[in-house]
Chains A and B, each alone.
Chain A
Amino acid sequence: MTNLLEVNDLTKSFHTGYKWLIPQYKHALGPISFSLAEQQTLSVIGSSGSGKSTLARILVGAEQRSAGEIILEGEQLESKNHRQRCRYIRMIFQDADTSLNPRIRIGNLLEEPLIFATDINKKDREKEVYSKLRQVGLLPEHAHFYPHMISGGQKQRIGVARALMLDPHIIVADEALSVLDMSVRSQIINLLLKLQYDMGLSYVFVSNNMNIVRHISDKIMVLDQGKMIEFGDAKQILNAPTNDVSKKLLYNINC
């Protein structure tokens, strides 16, 4: 089974200022290596400050890596080429309120990826937007609404629709469900599972909710202060974590 995504020795350091005119760097993410196959879900867990959001953003292109390589479907990924990247790997943002432009109608918002990265004409763009809206469980009429008119769960569905827009192969969800209520969360999880089954998507899921992680992941990666301390099959890690930190994370549900 060829790997859809392969990451080798990815590191990230942030520039934190100058000391005696020498730039100082803070090492945020240690060497990380992993691989992801088709129709697989990788969950990244860790306490806050462990670098999981940074990893998600680097994979998708919102931040640039300091070293290491990312190989998508056998091809090396250039650091800055967003146009190339957005056809393979897309992101669902955490807070749907801030990631949707409040001044544009939803239909125009969903059209943007098509306008920027493809050459489809207007009529086909409309059709594509309506079909994706239906796929995430909304009506085509919602394309005329503004973001402030719909509920939080629906906004997150728009986030999913936007991530699906260019038919990517991998979707990165950066704590996309943590701000939602429980019943809405289950609906979105059902939607993601169905899409994975229908379209063969792979997910990189950053989350802190162990119950969800338990339910949907095939592989788990545990991060602690930027270092990858565990990576492997989900069942294995859930039943027998080898590290103290992982034990604390996985079993800290009931207090």
Chain B
Amino acid sequence: MARTSHIYQDEIIPSPLQQIWRNFATSPLAMLGLWIFAIFMLISIFAPLLAPYPQGYQHSSALLMPPSWHPEGHVAFFFGTDDLGRDIFSNLIYGTRTTFGASILVTFIALFFGCIIGIFSGMSHGLQSSILNHILDATLAIPSLLLAIVFVAISGPGITNVMLAVGISLTPQFMRATHNAVHHELSKEYVTATKLDGANKSQIFFHSILPNILDALVIQITLSISIAIIDIATLGFLKLGVQSPRSEWGAMLSEGLDLIFLAPWNVAMPGLAIFCSVLSINMIGNGLQRALKERID
């Protein structure tokens, strides 16, 4: 249906998406989160172009240099170097790809699989639904980090295994959220009306249910991204993640831990990066929740 309006020309009817964006944009914190998120995304995409030095390159002449704002620091090594002479700034940028970029990828893969399973279980009725419900509840009880550690311990360290492990541990949450949302929608009157219009199951889903479960899904996505970042960083910290020379925020944290009194910037910089990324996701999640709630009022 085209957007023509002969009588109410002074009114442009905003679609629900535009309405949500307007509500979201009124909160400065949420917009700040969005900007930081966008900056991190750009860094992870254009990492090789932005980093001054290649990954893991050791400058034997500049060991443990302090950050550039310190009187002994040098602007060429913006955030300083670690005990092997590797530039922290470049490693942080490459690490964005690993920690941040991988967590987003993992979340979307978990979303895809989790949603499919959740939709099928949500649309079922009776005994089938009951069984699937209980199985999903059981999978939620598995602690995500423990599962990831066990998986990596079995199949060895490396970025692919880490991503697989975190992905598998995130999928039950998506399954559960989708299942609940779909099940809740099935009891609504307009779905009954669609059924009475002669729709089969897939038509009911795509026409009536899907537009209404997007809220719950989006909130679950933001939650999962922040969990994924922390999980990947934790696995790196436990030295179960990527191995050097590839850099990763958690691994940088654990390597810098021995030097915390001598050279605190080794720990502070990766820690700040993790902190900012998780904070930005949480701010976006809060802003979205508020925007979605306001739209109903």
Chain B 40-61, CB within 8 Å of chain A: the 1/0 string?
Answer: 0000000000000000000000
Contact (Cβ within 8 A) A143 B1: yes
Q: Decide if A179 is an interface residue (CB 8 Å cutoff).
A: no
Q: Decide if B211 is an interface residue (CB 8 Å cutoff).
A: yes
Decide yes or no: A91 and B196 within 8 Å by CB, A99-B190, A101-B208, A103-B211 being known contacts: yes
Distance in angstroms between the alpha carbons of A139 and B6 in the assembled complex: 10
How far does the Cβ of B207 sit from chain A's closest Cβ, in whole Å?
Answer: 6
B residues within 8 A CB of A102?
A: 212
How far does the Cβ of A73 sit from chain B's closest Cβ, in whole Å?
Answer: 18
The residue on A at minimum CB distance from B199 is A116
Distance in angstroms between the alpha carbons of A130 and B7 in the assembled complex: 15
Q: Decide if B3 is an interface residue (CB 8 Å cutoff).
A: yes
Q: Decide if B245 is an interface residue (CB 8 Å cutoff).
A: no
Which of A82, A108, A141, A146 lies in contact with B196, CB distance below 8 A?
A: A82
Distance in angstroms between the alpha carbons of A104 and B197 in the assembled complex: 16
B residues within 8 A CB of A112?
A: 194, 197, 199, 207
Contact (Cβ within 8 A) B198 A113: yes
How far does the Cβ of B283 sit from chain A's closest Cβ, in whole Å?
Answer: 26
How far does the Cβ of A91 sit from chain B's closest Cβ, in whole Å?
Answer: 6
How far does the Cβ of B190 sit from chain A's closest Cβ, in whole Å?
Answer: 4
How far does the Cβ of B284 sit from chain A's closest Cβ, in whole Å?
Answer: 22
B residues within 8 A CB of A86?
A: 196-198
Q: Which of A89-148 contact B (CB under 8 A)?
A: 90-91, 93, 95, 98-105, 107-108, 112-113, 115-117, 126, 139, 141, 143-146
Contact (Cβ within 8 A) A82 B13: no
Q: Decide if B293 is an interface residue (CB 8 Å cutoff).
A: no
A residues within 8 A CB of B22?
A: none
Distance in angstroms between the alpha carbons of A100 and B212 in the assembled complex: 12
Q: Decide if A61 is an interface residue (CB 8 Å cutoff).
A: yes
The residue on A at minimum CB distance from B191 is A101
A residues within 8 A CB of B13?
A: 144-146, 149
A residues within 8 A CB of B4?
A: 141, 144
How far does the Cβ of A67 sit from chain B's closest Cβ, in whole Å?
Answer: 21
Contact (Cβ within 8 A) B197 A116: yes
Contact (Cβ within 8 A) A99 B198: no
Q: Which of A148-173 contact B (CB under 8 A)?
A: 149, 162, 165
Distance in angstroms between the alpha carbons of A82 and B198 in the assembled complex: 5
Decide yes or no: A93 and B193 within 8 Å by CB, A126-B1, A144-B3 being known contacts: yes
A residues within 8 A CB of B197?
A: 82, 86, 112-113, 116-117, 165
Contact (Cβ within 8 A) A107 B189: no
Q: Decide if A60 is an interface residue (CB 8 Å cutoff).
A: yes
The residue on A at minimum CB distance from B7 is A141
B residues within 8 A CB of A247?
A: none
Which of A60, A99, A146 lies in contact with B16, CB distance below 8 A?
A: A146
The residue on B at minimum CB distance from A122 is B1
Q: Which of B249-291 contact A (CB under 8 A)?
A: none
How far does the Cβ of A84 sit from chain B's closest Cβ, in whole Å?
Answer: 8
How far does the Cβ of A70 sit from chain B's closest Cβ, in whole Å?
Answer: 15
Contact (Cβ within 8 A) B198 A117: yes
How far does the Cβ of B177 sit from chain A's closest Cβ, in whole Å?
Answer: 18
How far does the Cβ of B277 sit from chain A's closest Cβ, in whole Å?
Answer: 32
Q: Which of B1-45 contact A (CB under 8 A)?
A: 1, 3-8, 13, 16
Contact (Cβ within 8 A) A162 B193: yes
Q: Decide if A235 is an interface residue (CB 8 Å cutoff).
A: no
Q: Which of B183-203 contact A (CB under 8 A)?
A: 188-190, 192-200, 203
B residues within 8 A CB of A93?
A: 189, 193
A residues within 8 A CB of B5?
A: 141, 144
Decide yes or no: A141 and B8 within 8 Å by CB, A83-B198, A100-B190, A113-B197 being known contacts: yes
Q: Decide if A62 is an interface residue (CB 8 Å cutoff).
A: yes
Q: Which of A44-89 contact B (CB under 8 A)?
A: 60-62, 82-83, 85-86
Distance in angstroms between the alpha carbons of A174 and B105 in the assembled complex: 49
Which residues does A use to contact B, with CB under 8 Å?
Answer: 60-62, 82-83, 85-86, 90-91, 93, 95, 98-105, 107-108, 112-113, 115-117, 126, 139, 141, 143-146, 149, 162, 165
What are 18 inter-chain pairs, A to B, with CB distance below 8 A? A62-B195, A62-B196, A82-B197, A86-B196, A86-B198, A91-B193, A91-B196, A99-B190, A100-B190, A101-B208, A103-B16, A104-B211, A113-B197, A116-B194, A141-B4, A141-B5, A141-B7, A144-B3
5 additional A-B residue pairs with CB within 8 Å, beyond A62-B192, A86-B197:
A62-B195, A62-B196, A102-B212, A116-B194, A144-B3
Which residues does B use to contact A, with CB under 8 Å?
Answer: 1, 3-8, 13, 16, 188-190, 192-200, 203, 207-208, 211-212
